[in-house]
Structure 1
Amino acid sequence: MSNPQPRPLGTRIKKALPQYLAISPYFFFFFVFGAMPVVFTMALAFTNWSGLGDFDLIGFTNFKYLISDPLFYKSLVNTLILWVMGTVPTLVLATILALMLNSTLRFSTTYKVIYLIPNITSMVAMGMLFSSIFSSQFGIANAIINVFGFENIAWLQTEWGIKIAISCLTTWAFVGYNALLILAGLQAIDKSLYEAAALDGANSWQIFFRITLPQLRPIILFVTLMSTIGSLQSFTESQVLTSSNSGGAASAGGINNSGLTMVMYFYSVAFQENRYGYGAAIAWGVFVVVMFFSIINWLVTRERKD
């Protein structure tokens, strides 16, 4: 039996053309809003453009200044602190909520919707809410500590108070979403593993640490990695909670720049001081930091095979 002859190239292109036309809008918008800005930002980092006038090439001057800029390192340290203060509580609380949801038989769908609401609520709106919660005079946070005999704390006028407020807002916003991801991982675990462990006399703690946690490793890796990427690019939380004190990079982020994140520093330099060239260099610095810690995070949390 003879092999079928391949169809001419023109015929194959004509047949596949509708499919390529169907997906062409994605590539168009990716090129316009994704690829072109990346290329433009890289080119802009080698200039001192202020938003108007000519593009004056200055070589690696912006990058040389970036690696010696104390305010950039201040924003980097703040970002890393907020990453730890936001990611660790979020992961712990999300796991606890997922375990509770997994053991709940009634109204589980209602609980899932309730836990997801903070994630789909405007971060600006939640930031305004948390500004009231951490108000120096009439905030709920001070009302709670007053019950235990402590005096009011000026949360948004102290360095660690700002960090606590930002991390609480981050945790509130993402704990429900991450809980649903972990819940999906819990429901995918083979129930026969729990039955075998029960027959062997394992208690609840042993089951959790020997079965549940290892089986959740891929989900925890994903949640941790996405939380790391999101936290290192945080902006809105700090901007909303400290916006009244922002008038440029030098005063951004509240008292002693304690809430200044890397992306907020980029925003202040580029869009408040109109130093777009140096702002582009900061953006690439943020990219390098995010990639570095994402790789470290993946190497630490990935599954090791013997």
Structure 2
Amino acid sequence: MTVQLDARPPVAPAPKPSTGRLSRLDTRLSPYLYIAPFFLLFAVFGAYPLAYTFWVSLHDWDLLGSDHPFVGMENYTRLLADVDFWHALVNTLGIFVISTVPQLLAALWLANLLNRGLRARTAWRMAVLVPNVTSTAAVAIVFGVIFGRDFGMVNWLLDMVGVDAIGWKSNRFASWVAISAMVDWRWTGYNALILLAAMQAIPRDLYESASIDGANRARQFWSITVPLLKPTIIFCAIIATIGGLQLFTEPRLFHSGTNPIRGGPMRESQTLTMYMFENAFAPHYNFGYGSAVAWLLFALIAIVAAVNVLVLRRLGGDSGPGTRKGAAR
């Protein structure tokens, strides 16, 4: 007897229409469900407080009072006419420029140094994070002693080269320099590790091709490393901008003995965040005015960050595939 076998594979049953719709719905909605917790937390703890702060800034909001009359833009008008506000704004921008530019340049140099074949590289890379994990209060105390007028180490070194003692806490520009040194010491290593991680992602064959063409290390750094690090440099610049314009702890603790919330007896280093704290809490307790300061600070950070991005993009050129090809020649 001859048995004929059917060589055709069995046909799978067609999926039910409801199952196909559920699969497509799951594919479309799953990504949004995964990122929903972040946006939910941001809406509760970020967007809502930000909007409510603007609402408070439109009122005469005495923290100790029960009535909060609506005053419109009066707080902003009063703020722009306040000499102390402009004084704090100049201090903030001055400390920001003096601290951020050297910080990013030093971080770039340090990252390039750590990217080489050093002995005990892991130990060195861990060591650059020590300032960042050190207590800010301890750092401020140490730097306050280092920059002391009568017995400080900096003035002692300056005296050895014939420079008179500098009042680091009573001179406006000198206090900017001292606080900037404190900020740079704490955050340079952090930015260096971020830049180092980006450097290690650059293909090594680009450096090998450039070396064959006769490019030295300096030429390779400026023609290959810096252009390809442009997105990371922009990120570090934005983070440094946000932190530098919100500076509060370092200048307050640096002047711990002489009107700390005012940044010294003559407001030598009072920043916008310190000025906001002074008006929102003791001794004025005016939440409406303090909220207006906070919103102007928010606008300032957004403007400076946007300017940083535009400037760095123009200086760095295109970091796409075309740059890699040109750099390897």
1:1-306 superposed matches below 5 A:
4-6=16-18, 30-52=42-64, 53-246=66-259, 252-272=262-282, 273-302=284-313, 304-305=317-318
Identity of aligned residues (%): 36
Letter in 2 for 1:241: F
In structure 2, C-alpha distance between the alignment counterparts of 1:135 and 1:187, rounded to whole Å: 41
In structure 1, C-alpha distance between the alignment counterparts of 2:230 and 2:51, rounded to whole Å: 37
Give the Å deviation of 1:81: 1.1
Q: Deviations over 1:179-216 (max 9, x none)?
A: 11111122111111111111111122221211121122
Contact 1:134–1:155 (CA<8 Å) still a contact in 2? yes
Contact 1:178–1:223 (CA<8 Å) still a contact in 2? yes
Per the alignment, do residues 6 and 64 of structure 1 end up closer, same or farther by CA in structure 2, a change over 3 Å counting?
A: farther
- Unmatched tracts of structure 1, length 5 or more: none
Per the alignment, do residues 23 and 289 of structure 1 end up closer, same or farther by CA in structure 2, a change over 3 Å counting?
A: closer
Contact 1:158–1:255 (CA<8 Å) still a contact in 2? no
Structure 1 stretch displaced more, 162-171 or 182-191: 182-191
Alignment length (residue pairs): 297
Q: Highest Rg: 1 or 2?
A: 2
SS at match of 1:135: coil
Contact 1:101–1:183 (CA<8 Å) still a contact in 2? yes
Give the Å deviation of 1:40: 2.4
Structure 1 stretch displaced more, 93-102 or 166-175: 93-102
Over the aligned positions, Cα root-mean-square deviation in angstroms equals: 2.7
Q: Deviations over 1:90-110 (max 9, x none)?
A: 111111211211114321111
In structure 2, C-alpha distance between the alignment counterparts of 1:247 and 1:232, rounded to whole Å: 18
Structure 1 stretch displaced more, 294-303 or 224-233: 294-303
Per the alignment, do residues 104 and 135 of structure 1 end up closer, same or farther by CA in structure 2, a change over 3 Å counting?
A: farther
In structure 2, C-alpha distance between the alignment counterparts of 1:231 and 1:75, rounded to whole Å: 13
TM-score, with structure 1 as normaliser: 0.88
SS at match of 1:105: coil
In structure 1, C-alpha distance between the alignment counterparts of 2:257 and 2:57, rounded to whole Å: 29
Q: Deviations over 1:212-252 (max 9, x none)?
A: 2112211111111111111111111111112333276xxx1
SS at match of 1:155: coil
Give the Å deviation of 1:122: 2.0
In structure 2, C-alpha distance between the alignment counterparts of 1:158 and 1:164, rounded to whole Å: 10
Contact 1:170–1:237 (CA<8 Å) still a contact in 2? yes
Structure 1 stretch displaced more, 30-39 or 226-235: 30-39
**Structure (1/2) with the larger helix percentage:** 1
Letter in 2 for 1:243: S
In structure 2, C-alpha distance between the alignment counterparts of 1:121 and 1:212, rounded to whole Å: 31
In structure 2, C-alpha distance between the alignment counterparts of 1:5 and 1:246, rounded to whole Å: 73
Give the Å deviation of 1:116: 0.4
Contact 1:233–1:263 (CA<8 Å) still a contact in 2? yes
